[in-house]
Each structure stands twice: as structure tokens, then as C-alpha cells.
Chains A and B, each alone.
Chain A
Amino acid sequence: MSKSYLSLEFIDKSFERNGVRSDVLTQVSLGVEKGEFISIIGHSGCGKSTLLNIVAGLTKATTGVVLLDGQVVDAPGPDRGVVFQNHSLLPWLTVYENVSLAVDKVFSRTKSKAERHDWVMRNLDLVQMGHAKDKRPSEVSGGMKQRVGIARALAMEPKVLLLDEPFGALDALTRAHLQDQVMQIHAELGNTVMMITHDVDEAVLLSDRIVMMTNGPAARIGEVLDVPIARPRRRIELATDPTYIRCRSAVLKFLYERHRLVEAA
């Protein structure tokens, strides 16, 4: 059996505090192909962010292994670009410096200074933030910050792009705009993307496949749904697309009928 580009194999994760063991994830196995856009959806507390952190290498799995392009993942590294939920830009650096910090680190040997500068600017232009390169994160809007976060992750030329609820903190209009941008970037560059989300529409709109997680504790993959909608996708046309509606209701049914969050919110 040939391995997938990104392969999660029998991931278990449990935390132990004061001798009490709590299972977060059990037996999570998932293969992601090169160029594929995968969403992981589930109620809050289902361990989806933990799963992403394991792939990023920021958290260690209790058992199980993550393979990326044939290599075992056991520490964070620039081959897995992470876009954090709250952008995580360094506030004392300008937009440009935030991206160049990553670029200078990753390409210190392979690119000349001028090439690195061009590469920073290309990635900022890709997310349409070139005009604000000398601003500090506090001087730009939330959506712009997240765009810089995406540019920083993309600029590392990661093998896989990990998005941790990247648009969760944004208003609906900004979010839609950024979703379109991410789709466009994905179409242009053909990145492999793994995105955590709790937004059904976002998952269906962006993904090739949607991985639905059952509720924690001891969450596992409940179902994997293919989204056979041709790209490029346009959100207005999709609203009446039968496949879109079918996928959307499949996710909704999974989340709100079979795996409703029972605990009081």
C-alpha cells in the first residue's frame, strides 16, 4: 500500500493530570494527498486543534505517528506552515519583518538577500498586503493580520499548510473575502492544506474532503465526506448547487443529529 503524502497513523492522545488520564483523540488515521484541501470539522473540545498541533509537531502524540512525504514528524518545522487562530504576528515587527523573519530563517542558505526580499514581497503581494509592508500589526485590521499570517506560512514554502480556524475571529464579510483568497492561492500554488474549522459552509466551500470528528473525550474520525464540486468554486453559484446542498446537509446532519454536543455550552 502506498502511503499518502501526509499520513496520520493511529494517533492517540491523552493527557494526564494528577494521575487522572483523559483521552483526547483515539485511533485517528488519515491520509492526505498532495495538493488536497482537507477540512477537519467538529464541535469545540473535540480535539481538532490538538490534532493539528500534533501534525505541526507542537504537541506529541501519545501513540501513533505522523508521516509527511515519507518523513516522521516529531518536532515543529518550516515544512509545515501553520496559520494560527489569532494570527500570532510579532507586534514589535512590521508586516514585512514578520514575513522576512520566516524567509530569512528558512532560505538563509538557498536564497540571496535580494532574492529573499523579492520572495517576501511576492508573498505579501499574494495576499494583497504589499502596500502595508511597513505597518505594524497593531495598525492593520484583523483580516489583514490574518492575511500576513498566511503570507508568513506560505513564504516558508511548506509541504503542507496547516490552518487553525484561520477565519474564526473575523467578521462574515472579511471571512468570505479571505476564503476566496485562500481558494485562489490554493488554485495557483496547489498547496496541500489541512484546515481546522467549525464553520460548515467554509468547510464545504473550500475542501476536497471534510473530516468529521466525533465529540470528545476520546474523539475519533466519525466520517469523511468527499466534496465533488469542480473548481474554481464560486460561492454565489454554489448556493443553489445540488452537490453543495447535499454535502452541506450531510455535515449538518453529522454535527447536529448524530453527534450533537450534549454538554451544556
Chain B
Amino acid sequence: MSVTNLNIKSDAAAKPTASIVTLSRAAPPSAGFRMPGFVKTLADNVLPPIITLAFLLVAWEFLCSSPTSSLPAPSRVLEESWALIVDPFYVGQGTDQGMFWHILASLQRVAVGYALAAIAGIAVGTLIGQSDLAMRGLDPIFQVLRTVPPLAWLPLSLAAFRDGNPSAIFVIFITAVWPVIINTAVGIRNIPQDYQNVAKVLRLNGYEYFTKIMLPAAAPYIFTGLRIGIGLSWLAIVAAEMLIGGVGIGFFIWDAWNSSLISDIIVALVYVGIVGFLLDRVIALIANAVTRGNVKA
């Protein structure tokens, strides 16, 4: 009885097992074998948003198809702004530039303001995280200041700098700095006692503690702050540039509105959205690369 059972089992099991073995042997050397899986993941991730986008465009086209519609349909956007779309590197007079140059000008302002915010934010956050006195002295003030909307700083910075460009950079700085400060401070306050004990037993000095324990332990928090900060910077730059003028995506949008070029505004919004998304992804990628392995072990 048991012997027959065993035979049946092994018979039934033999075929699938054999085929699995051959599969797993064949899979690693041939790259082509993995392709279907790869293509499938790609399709799984790319197809749904494309279908959604197509659906939205069709709905939009339909809703704005009437000739009296106040907003242009996608087909009209393509038609009216075709020059803008196909030649992003166009160089003209004054603010008459291709989209690329507008975006680049905005990105430069963000880069300067954001870099300053990252440096100052991590430094001040470290101070607050380390020292109770600094925490008590600075935190209440920061909690009030961080609620001031970015654009509310603009008139003040214009008064101080008497120039549009540094004012816009200052607005970026003041927008991005709070989340960096607060997250860095939280990260440093949350360094586990265990790691601090290790540092004490090894008698790490201040510099060694900072580089070997504090920064790596707080890195996930710091990058959360940096990621929030870059998002806010990009939000603020468009608004700030609308007011300061010059080359920049914010002013481009405002200028297009003043010239009733609604289609150009839509093209610009697509650019703003994509660039904002890419900025966020870049910081996320850096965070992943830097904090690799920095998981709770």
C-alpha cells in the first residue's frame, strides 16, 4: 500500500520537478529568457498611466471642443503652441526664449536656494538635535516662521536685496529650509541609545561621532526633509518668478496669461509638472544610493 502510494507520488512529482530544473538552468545564461518578465513589468507599470492619460485627453478634447470654449482643447494646444513644443532650445530677444531656457533659469535659482537651504538646514538641524538649549531657544521661533507662506517673504526680500534674482533665491531658501531643519533634528534626536553607547565605549571624538554615527543614522530623516524641501522649492519658484519677472518658467506663464496665450500656459504646466516630478525622483534616487543598507537591522 505504502509502496504504491510512494510510486504514485514520485511519478506525479517527477515530471514537474524535472521541468523546473531545466527551466532554472536555462534561465540565467540566456538574457532573452528574462525578457518576457521584464517586458511584462514594464507593461504593468507603463500601460495603466498611458491609458488613463489617453482617456483624460479624450475627455478634455470632448469638453473643450466647442468653438466658444474658454479653454483650448488638446488639439488646439498642439496647433497654437506647436513652435513652442518643437523648439525648446529657441533663443530670442529678452524673455522670448525656448522652454528649455526658461526651465533652466528656474532650475538655476532653485539649485542655489535649495543648496543653501540643505547646508544651513542640516547644520541648524544638527544643532537643534544635539543641544537641548538650542532646541528650546530656536524651535518655538521656527515653528512660527515655518508657517509663513513662501510668497509672503518676497516683498521683504525685495526690500532687502533690491533685486529680483536674489529675492527669488531667498524665497526658495526660506521655503526649503524648514523641513530640512525639522527632519534633521528629529533624525538626530532619534539616534538609538545603542549606537550612542557604542560611540561612548569606543570613545569616538566629536568629528568621528558626527561622520560615523550621527550622519548615517539620521540620513533617512535628512533625506525625507530634503525631498519635502525640493518639492516646496519648485512650488515656490513658479509663484516667485511670476512676481519678479525675467527669464523663468513662472514669468513665462504669467507673460502667456497677459498675452492671452492659454495654450502656451498649458504647455508650460506640463513642463513644470514633469520637471517637479524629476526633481523629486532625483532626490529619492540619491537618498536610496546614500542610505543603502541603512535599514533597521
A81→B201 contact, CB < 8 A: yes
A92→B293 contact, CB < 8 A: yes
Residue of B202, B217, B293 most packed against chain A (CB within 10 A)? B202
Q: Does A25 contact B (CB under 8 A)?
A: no
Interface string of A81-116 (1 = CB under 8 A from B): 110101011111000000001100110000000000
A contact residues around B212 at 8 Å (CB): 90, 101
A76→B295 contact, CB < 8 A: no
A90→B216 contact, CB < 8 A: yes
A89→B208 contact, CB < 8 A: no
A137→B297 contact, CB < 8 A: yes
A138→B201 contact, CB < 8 A: no
B contact residues around A168 at 8 Å (CB): none
Which residues of A47-89 have CB atoms within 8 Å of chain B's CB atoms?
56-58, 75-78, 80-82, 84, 86, 88-89
Q: Which bucket holds chain A's interface residue count?
A: 20 to 34
Q: Does A186 contact B (CB under 8 A)?
A: no
Name B297's contact: one of A82, A101, A136 (CB within 8 Å): A136
Q: Does B25 contact A (CB under 8 A)?
A: no
B contact residues around A58 at 8 Å (CB): 197, 200-201
Say whether, besides A136-B297, A138-B295, A138-B297, A90 and B198 are in contact (CB < 8 Å).
yes
Say whether, besides A86-B194, A92-B291, A145 and B201 are in contact (CB < 8 Å).
no
Interface string of A202-240 (1 = CB under 8 A from B): 000000000000000000000000000000000000000
**Considering only CB atoms, which chain A residue lies closest to B213 in the complex?**
A90
Name A88's contact: one of B197, B216, B219, B294 (CB within 8 Å): B197
Instruction: Give Cα A57–Cα B202 distance, bound, in whole angstroms.
Output: 12
Residue of B194, B203, B217, B297 most packed against chain A (CB within 10 A)? B297
Least Cβ–Cβ distance between B209 and chain A, in angstroms: 11
Instruction: Give Cα A145–Cα B297 distance, bound, in whole angstroms.
Output: 9
Say whether, besides A90-B216, A92-B216, A138 and B202 are in contact (CB < 8 Å).
no
Instruction: Give Cα A102–Cα B194 distance, bound, in whole angstroms.
Output: 15
Least Cβ–Cβ distance between B152 and chain A, in angstroms: 40
A contact residues around B208 at 8 Å (CB): 105
Q: Does B204 contact A (CB under 8 A)?
A: yes
Q: Which bucket holds chain B's interface residue count?
A: 20 to 34
Name B197's contact: one of A75, A82, A92, A138 (CB within 8 Å): A82
A contact residues around B136 at 8 Å (CB): none
A136→B194 contact, CB < 8 A: no
**Considering only CB atoms, which chain A residue lies closest to B198 in the complex?**
A88
Least Cβ–Cβ distance between B290 and chain A, in angstroms: 9
A contact residues around B291 at 8 Å (CB): 92
Interface string of A123-157 (1 = CB under 8 A from B): 00000000000001110000001000000000010
Q: Does B90 contact A (CB under 8 A)?
A: no
Instruction: Give Cα A145–Cα B194 distance, bound, in whole angstroms.
Output: 14
Say whether, besides A86-B194, A90-B216, A92-B216, A80 and B295 are in contact (CB < 8 Å).
no
Name B293's contact: one of A78, A91, A101 (CB within 8 Å): A91
Instruction: Give Cα A117–Cα B196 distance, bound, in whole angstroms.
Output: 25
**Considering only CB atoms, which chain B residue lies closest to A80 in the complex?**
B201
Least Cβ–Cβ distance between A96 and chain B, in angstroms: 13
Instruction: Give Cα A220–Cα B195 distance, bound, in whole angstroms.
Output: 30
B197→A91 contact, CB < 8 A: no
Q: Does B40 contact A (CB under 8 A)?
A: no
8 nearest CB pairs, A to B = A137-B297, A91-B297, A88-B194, A76-B200, A92-B216, A138-B297, A136-B293, A92-B294
20 CB contacts below 8 A, A to B, read A57-B200, A58-B197, A78-B203, A81-B201, A82-B197, A86-B194, A88-B195, A90-B195, A90-B213, A90-B216, A90-B217, A91-B295, A91-B296, A92-B216, A101-B202, A101-B212, A105-B202, A138-B293, A138-B295, A138-B296
11 further interface pairs, Cβ-Cβ under 8 Å (given A84-B197, A138-B293, A138-B296): A57-B200, A77-B203, A78-B203, A88-B195, A90-B195, A92-B216, A92-B293, A105-B202, A106-B202, A136-B293, A138-B295
